Amino acid sequence: MSRLTELQKTQEDSQFWNDPEAAKAVLKEQKRISTMVENYEGLNRELDDTAVLLELALEEGDRSVLKEVEQKLGDIERHLEGLEIQRLFAQPEDVADAIVEIHAGAGGTEAQDWAQMLLRMYLRWAEREGYQTQVLDTLDGEEAGLKSVTFSVDGEYAYGRLRAEVGIHRLVRISPFDANARRHTSFAAVFVYPSVSDDVEIEINDADLRIDTYRSSGAGGQHVNKTDSAVRITHLPTGIVVQCQNERSQHKNRAMAMKILRSRLYDLELEKKREEKDRLHKQKKEIAWGSQIRSYVLQPYQMVKDHRTNYEIGNVNAVLDGDISAFIQELLAQQARESRDRAV
């Protein structure tokens, strides 16, 4: 509440709108905190109303009212879990937009096709959740699929939610590329970074950058790019390499590549400060057996299972069509429970 009061006082300053971008950031934060306060107060009202209803049911011995109380308690429990999950979004970067990278791993063409399937899954999920997406860079496979892809997901808490997807994703299926119809196992890695807004200062020395331009890949014919508009930037001190080729001009590709680089460097700085030791770099294992966070099995049975929470869903097609919110929610709920237990 003190932060909300502070934000409201900030808006009373006559100079508030002199910096429109800063003003928008303040209003966005105020809306987010106001929503959290309203949810908390609403939950308290629900608890008070349910307590009165329970007392009435016990006095009159009315089983139908007791059943209604039981239902309301179930709703309250779900709302409480939602509030506990929101507590995990305490870091400033959680509310940010996200930049997502998918890299095909062991499995050749199979893995590259799997990377493209994951891209489709995340784009469908983002559409369901009302997020805006943009594919920033792709590296096509030799025969099919993608060797790698980078895309942005814009919307409130996009990073806070999608960071649950960081890790190795495993697919088991009958290969459409195998004439003998044998079962294949494929892997792809997913990395997620918070998209850095312009008001966050990330110091980048031009002398630390190697910038290369090259011709964007395309489908051929009249769409072939005849100029070196694609941009690859290497940050020499860290070895981070970013690239962008999906914008129409070299200038736009360079600007987007710099945005990705700033996000990568920001995430690197955040990681140095984190107390959790199993975050991003610990999850950057070999993209192969034994390191997956989630398995998507199409053969010999159908099941998607998250190995961190043991949560599983039998409708694989729905998951691959973007229905992954339950997996994200389950992991965040588990983290909320662990955080609560540590606090006790």
DSSP 11-60: TTSTTGGGSHHHHHHHHHHHHHHHHHHHHHHHHHHHHHHHHHHHHHHHHH
The pLDDT score that the predictor gives to residue 277 is 41
- pLDDT of 72-112, one tens digit each? 888 888 777 767 767 777 677 888 899 999 999 977 889 99
Q: Averaged over 246-269, what is the pLDDT?
A: 89
Which tens digit of pLDDT belongs to each residue from 304-336? 999 999 999 999 999 999 999 999 988 988 877
Whether residue 46 has pLDDT greater than 70: yes
Tokens 């590296």: give the residue.
139
* Class of the CATH domain delimited by 2-87: mainly alpha
Indicate the fold that domain 96-344 takes in CATH: Alpha-Beta Plaits (3.30.70)
**What is the mean pLDDT of the segment spanning 232-252?**
91
Report pLDDT for 198. 66
Q: Tell me if the pTM is above 0.75.
A: no
For residue 263, give the H/E element and its range.
helix 250-273
Q: What pLDDT shows up at residue 224?
A: 46
Helix axis angle for 20-60 and 63-87, nearest 10°, is 150
* Best CA proximity match to 297, nearest among 314, 281, 280: 314
Going from N- to C-terminal start, the domains of the chain cover 2-87, 96-344
